[in-house]
A and B are shown apart, each in its own frame.
Chain A
Amino acid sequence: MIGERNLWANKLTLDLKFFMLLCGLIALVPLLELTPYTLGILIISFYFALIAMGWNLLAGFTGQFSMAPAAFAMIGGYTAALLNYHFGLSLWVGIPSAVLVSALLGFLVGSTVLGLKGPYLSLTTLALAEVARVVISNSHDYTRGDQGLNVPTLMQSRMGYYYLFLGILIGAALLIYSLMRSRYGGFLLAIRDDAHGAQSRGIPIVKYKLMAFIVSSSISGFAGCLYGTFTELVSPEMGLIQQTGIIISMVVIGGIGSLTGPLMGALIVYLGSEWLRSVGNIQMIVFALTVIIFARFFRTGLWGLFLKLYFYLFSDKKR
């Protein structure tokens, strides 16, 4: 047992190293003199990567398939926007309170729904996400409905946002890594692999599921709030089910239950869909087909394939 745990921990460390390597490469990309448009696309794919990492903590490491990550991003974005719009509070109040509100909502939602299992959990979170979106788009008096709300921006420079998002991604990866290497990470894995077993060994499973849910929803809320300040607009469209679908697909393609997977998935899916859009409007078809193929045949995603290749080369050298 201890050996296996160590093996998994080694894998995770390797995962983190590659994550850092990838981030290092990404940090060098702006040296290529990109157009502001391309830079914007990269920033938005970082936004998705951040939510995908948060969702992956819940789904990949804990095995709880929430369908609400995009809704939490929307809530985070709206918290900052509403505080600014109605009370004129600056973003330095808005951003922390966005994280706080999404954590609080994560706690409320989580403590209600996490007793449910499997498809029931997915359905309930899906329904809650839809309710939240409809409420926001219908409360014209407070949120201006589908028109969306303007948000002040942190800075004008896209380069600044690029490195801000990159830094936050690294921070989130370190947070998730240290969480997963700690005792609690072991509990989460146990819940994913065998909930009954974990419960009978005395792990309060709902409590730890709730913890993962709160961390995951605050990451989503933080991402949504930053995205709002970058685009200077929040709208109910951020919480569409399709957005959640895109996030889930990113994680599945990149590799569920890993650190590098969501980032790779987000970059590939978002950049790929932008590229396919220019080819012809086939991005959704290609993209849905890819997800099905990955989920059906390569369950560990790109990261799993990469890991296989890596171990193959690595063990060859040893011999």
Chain B
Amino acid sequence: MGLFYALMAVGLSMIFGILRIVNFAHGEFFMIGAYVYALSAMKMGLNPWFALVFAGAAGALLGVVVEKLLMRPLYDGYQSWSIVKDEYAVVVTFALSLLLIHLVDKVVGPSPFLGPSLVSTKRIALGPLMLNGQKIIAAGVSVFVLIGLALFIKKSVWGRQIQAVAQNRFGASLAGIDPVKTTALIFAISGLLAALSGALMAPIMNPSPDVGSFPALKSFIIVVLGGMGSIWGSMAAAILLGVMESFFAVYVSYDYRDTFGLMVLIAVLLFRPQGLAGRKGRET
């Protein structure tokens, strides 16, 4: 399970770690990805691999739109006291998550094309094997995307701009990097990753409008556990959390398995805010 969450958590880590914005709508990016994938593959008869790309593109687009419409005031000289920066983001992304869930519920939800049985046949269409085959392929794609992302951030000009903005937003703007554009790029990548993991998971878990909330919570835990803004930390934490949760479920209590991760989150925030691999955030 860890690897699927890793893909999503890295996406969240980009926003949360670099921009310090809590995006409660991240799970809904995941959900949108799953829906775009399932709908375009089933209704329009696209090749599943093509639908995967399509879903990723839709996620990236959604990320950019959200950033343009809602996130701009966060760093465009936002002065008003009434809702301070973090709180604005919390309120807006929370409302956005509700909006997306219910919009999808209203628009696609009643559609008979999305019955769970139709979705479960998808797994044969993509993977030549059974459920396990699908999982292996999804894991392979995840690893491939994650490595690609790491290379992109390390090597490419855009990736370096992201690094620069993450280190010092003001300094980056002095060096001629447009922080606003970079932020849009970060949102696009984050949306892309979430939608991709949604699309990859779509054949395994039947997409429903509220499918995103659970993985979103998991990825918050992973990001915090792994350390802010550290991709490798997030990946390690994803796998670690997956293993620990299984142990907890088996040896301690099955009923409380979902609270375990939350307790980890609380403990990490209180005792080791830098997580496994992240540097401690500078006071700004």
Contact = CB atoms under 8 A, between A and B. Distances in A.
Contact of B266 (A127, A192, A257, A295): A127
B98 A288 contact: yes
B90 interface: yes
A199 B109 CA distance: 51
Nearest to A117: B86
A134 interface: yes
A124 B266 contact: yes
B205 interface: no
Contact of B220 (A63, A123, A299, A304): A123
Nearest to B102: A284
A252 B265 contact: no
Contacts of A248: 91, 94
Contacts of A256: 82-83
Interface stretch (B125-133, B172-180, B253-261): B253-261
Interface string A44-61: 000000000000000100
A29 interface: no
Interface residues of A, number: 43
Contact of A299 (B83, B265, B273): B83
Contacts of B258: 130, 134
A14 interface: no
A221 B86 CA distance: 26
A193 B80 CA distance: 10
Interface in B62-93: 69-70, 73, 80-92
A38 interface: no
Contacts of B84: 63, 118, 192
Interface residues of B, number: 43
B118 interface: no
A74 interface: no
A292 B220 contact: no
Nearest to A140: B255
B103 A116 contact: no
Contacts of B273: 120
Interface in B227-259: 255-256, 258-259
Contacts of A292: 70, 92, 95-96, 99
Given A295-B95, A300-B82, A134 B259 contact: yes
A296 B265 CA distance: 30
Nearest to A63: B84
A112 B271 CA distance: 11
A123 B224 contact: yes
Contacts of B99: 284-285, 288-289, 292
A65 B87 CA distance: 7
B102 A288 contact: yes
Contact of A120 (B69, B89, B269): B269
A249 interface: yes
Contacts of A304: 82
A210 to B, nearest CB: 16
Given A119-B90, A123-B224, A134-B259, A291 B95 contact: yes
Contacts of A120: 269, 273
Q: Which of A127, A134, A289 has the most C-beta atoms of chain B within 10 angstroms of its own C-beta?
A: A127
A131 B262 contact: yes
A108 interface: no
B124 interface: no
B145 interface: no
B157 interface: no
B269 A124 contact: yes
Interface string A124-140: 10011011001100100
B55 interface: no
Interface in A101-128: 112-113, 116, 118-120, 122-124, 127-128
A245 interface: yes
Interface in B166-222: 217, 220
A119 B262 contact: no
A73 B188 CA distance: 38
A300 B99 CA distance: 21
B96 to A, nearest CB: 6
Contacts of A252: 83, 91
A186 B224 CA distance: 34
Contacts of A124: 265-266, 269-270
Given A249-B95, A292-B95, A138 B266 contact: no
Contacts of B103: 285
Contacts of A122: 22, 86-87, 90
Given A130-B217, A282-B106, 5 more contacts: A119-B20, A119-B21, A134-B256, A245-B98, A292-B95
4 nearest A-B pairs in the assembled complex, by CB-CB distance: A288-B99, A118-B86, A291-B95, A284-B102
19 contacts: A59-B87, A116-B269, A118-B84, A122-B86, A123-B224, A127-B263, A131-B262, A131-B263, A135-B256, A248-B94, A249-B95, A281-B106, A282-B102, A285-B99, A295-B83, A295-B88, A296-B92, A299-B80, A299-B88
Interface of B: 16, 20-22, 69-70, 73, 80-92, 94-96, 98-99, 101-103, 106, 217, 220, 224, 255-256, 258-259, 262-263, 265-266, 269-270, 273
